[in-house]
Amino acid sequence: MNIVLINGSMRKGSTYHYAQMVIDNIKKESPVDLFEFFLPKDLPNFCMGCYSCIFKSEDKCPHVNQTSIIQKAIDESDLVILTSPCYVFDVSGQMKSFLDHFGYQWMSHRPNPKMFHKIGLGIVTAAGAGMKPALKTITRSLFWWGIGKTYGLSQAVMAASYSEIPEKIKLKMESKALKTAKSIAKNFSKIKKMKPGFLTRFLFNIMKLGKSGHPEWNQVDYDFWKKNGYFDGFKPWNA
Ligand SMILES: Cc1cc2nc3c(=O)[nH]c(=O)nc-3n(C[C@H](O)[C@H](O)[C@H](O)COP(=O)(O)O)c2cc1C
């Protein structure tokens, strides 16, 4: 299984260790090739809101030298893991900036057919509260990218660093990581044949209705949908 791990922090702290617990357990079930990125090192600039990706091409992003490397790793992976410590009840700024850079492949713009047969996993830790909105920020993007099946893991660690986490909480994390890894490994063999859920299919069709008569809204999106046959009934999950 190819796994891409995008760490929403440079720290090898609680969040990083939580992700490693899952990956170590997946390795017991299946051989793994891991592509790993750390933010902000591997994508140091904020999205500037230049709209180049949306109205011209993702290749026109001023940060394409970094985004293209990450995009290739995501495209080639079966499991996409996005992690973040919770900062003020949401993801880290660098994780948010990463997600902004990949907004062009939301289903509302240019749904990437490679996404629909992947598994997504969001992982968040917080000292005590705010995991839910932070995890939602991650899983919302995974959903809108079209990812077929998404898992979420969150934990209040009651600590500022991994070494300070109480033993009882570490054991709980290990148990949840094992359960998630087993489920991912089990679903991995099915994901290539899996149809996305009702909401994904419904929203894709709503986007199609909106886009089909309106090339003037965004010519690049329109041409992409046309080229991929999406206006003629072809679905990205059948690619
Ligand atoms: C800037 C900043 C903001 C934080 N905001 C929250 C928060 O809103 N809620 C919370 O419970 N913990 C908060 N924390 C604590 C971290 O989320 C928590 O310690 C997390 O497990 C750190 O993960 P890491 O070890 O992977 O860096 C914050 C920490 C920092 C540095």
pLDDT at residue 102 greater than cutoff 90: yes
Q: How far is the CA of 85 from the centre of ligand 1 (A)?
A: 6
213 lines ligand 1 (CB under 6 A): no
What CATH number did the domain enclosing 111 receive?
3.40.50.360
Distances (CA, A) of 55 to 82, 146, 220: 26, 20, 6
Q: How confident is the model at residue 99 (pLDDT cuts 50, 70, 90)?
A: very high
Q: How far is the CA of 86 from the centre of ligand 1 (A)?
A: 5
Name the average pLDDT for the chain.
97
List, for residues 179-203, the tens digit of each pLDDT value. 999 999 999 888 888 889 999 999 9
Q: Whose CA is nearest to atom 8 of ligand 1?
A: 88
120 lines ligand 1 (CB under 6 A): no
What is the residue range of 175's domain? 2-195
Q: Is 207 a domain residue?
A: no
Q: Is 76 a domain residue?
A: yes
Q: Is 167 a domain residue?
A: yes
Mean pLDDT score, 131-154: 97
Q: Is 54 a domain residue?
A: yes
Q: Is 144 a domain residue?
A: yes
Q: Is 234 a domain residue?
A: no
For residues 156 and 129, is the Cβ–Cβ distance under 8 A? yes
The per-residue pLDDT for 216 is 97
* Residue 205 host element (H or E): helix 198-212
How many structural domains compose the chain? 1
Q: How confident is the model at residue 113 (pLDDT cuts 50, 70, 90)?
A: very high
Atom index in ligand 1 nearest the CA of residue 126 equals 17
pLDDT at residue 31 greater than cutoff 90: yes
Residue bearing the bigger pLDDT, 190 or 98:
98
Candidate from 83, 87, 90 with most ligand 1 atoms within 8 A of CB, to mutate: 87
DSSP string of 109-141, one letter each residue: S---GGGTT-EEEEEEEESSS-HHHHHHHHHHH
The per-residue pLDDT for 191 is 84
Q: Is 91 a domain residue?
A: yes
Mean pLDDT score, 50-64: 98
pLDDT at residue 172 greater than cutoff 90: yes
Atom index in ligand 1 nearest the CA of residue 161 equals 25
| CB-facing half-sphere around the CA of 217: CA atoms within 13 A | 13
Residue bearing the bigger pLDDT, 192 or 10:
10
Q: How far is the CA of 124 from the centre of ligand 1 (A)?
A: 10
Q: Is 89 a domain residue?
A: yes
